[in-house]
Amino acid sequence: EECVQLRAPDVGLEFQGRRGKAERKKAVARYKPSAILSEGEQKVLALADFLAEGRMGTANAPIIFDDPVTSLDYKRMGEVASRICVLADTHQVVVLTHNIMFASTLLGIRGGGKKHRAKFYEIRDDGPTKGIVGLASEPRSDTPADFEKKINVLLEKTRKADETVVRDALLGGAYGLLRSWCEAFVEQEMLQSVSQRYRVNIMMNGLAKIRADRLAAATAGLTPIFDRCSRFMPGHSQPTEQLNVQPNLSEFEGDFAAAKEIRTQYLAD
């Protein structure tokens, strides 16, 4: 099952343990895998073997992967990342890697609706002191749902605000969050994370998931909302004729509701 999930080569497995020896032997026809398979194929086969052994045990101890995608092609890289994220449902998983594409893939899968609690660390040096581990700023991975929660908090504060200046400031912040909501929706769901801010890689395997027949309608509805967000958000330069125009609560609630409806229609089965 693990070989199928990771697209590992089809090999014969001989269980020496059945003859009193606690080991397994893998073979391709009559040959050792190292004589036939590439380094990447051997790596993914070893991963499948390791994951299968882990499933047969009952312990839920943490599992550590040290650069598990070395020598793998980018397609298998995504499959390994998906398998690790599934493993994180039942185990604490620690992944050490130098591969920015693999790190981005893991973060992208985690941000796509999965409820894993994750932290992003960086190992660096400070002159003669080596191996300093500290929390790092991971690539932005907030989802539309995350932004909706933040927007709802600001809306609640806006409804309770008595002063006009305070209400205007809160609405400006809400429009800034709605603009980020639009960007997250476009990146993660409309374009299926093919291209994302703060990430250098292009995820080609997401192209087939894009609902091209719904792009035009979603774009037409979302663009004017995004434009209004850009006009009202803090720090954005305003044209002269708009300098004294401030958003009001009912307008924002209408834009927010319209944006969520566009998302609902785009994602509907």
For 211-259, write each residue's pLDDT tens digit. Answer: 999 999 999 999 999 998 988 876 655 555 555 667 789 999 999 999 9
| pLDDT at residue 129 in the model | 87
Tokens of 27: 């073979």
Decide if pLDDT at 175 tops 90: yes
With bands split at pLDDT 50, 70 and 90, how would you rate the model's confidence at 197? low
- How far apart (Å, rounded) are the C-alpha atoms in residues 136 and 197? 17
| Cβ pair 184, 260 in contact under 8 A | no
pLDDT above 70: residue 6: yes
Res 199 pLDDT > 80: no
Please report the pLDDT score of residue 212 as a whole number: 94
Q: What's the gap between Cα 65 and its chain centre?
A: 19
| Residue 160: Cβ within 10 Å count | 10
Q: Which of 53, 50, 56, 86 is nearest to 68 (CA)?
A: 50
Q: CB count, 10 Å around CB of 43?
A: 21
CA proximity to 48, closest of 78, 95, 80, 24 = 80
Question: Which residue is listed with tokens 């307008």?
Answer: 251
Q: Sign of torsion, CA 229 235 240 244?
A: positive
Q: What is the mean pLDDT of residues 112-130?
A: 73
Cβ atoms of 210 and 226 within 8 Å: the answer is no
pLDDT score, position 256: 97
Calpha distance 195→264 (Å, rounded): 22
pLDDT at 249: 92
Q: What is the pTM of this model?
A: 0.56
Cα gap 22→40, rounded to integer Å: 26
Which residues are 135's β-sheet partners?
A: 121
The reported pLDDT for the residue numbered 216 is 96
Name the residue with higher pLDDT: 136 or 214.
214
Instruction: Band the pLDDT of 75: cuts 50, 70, 90.
Output: confident
Residue whose token pair is 């927007």:
151
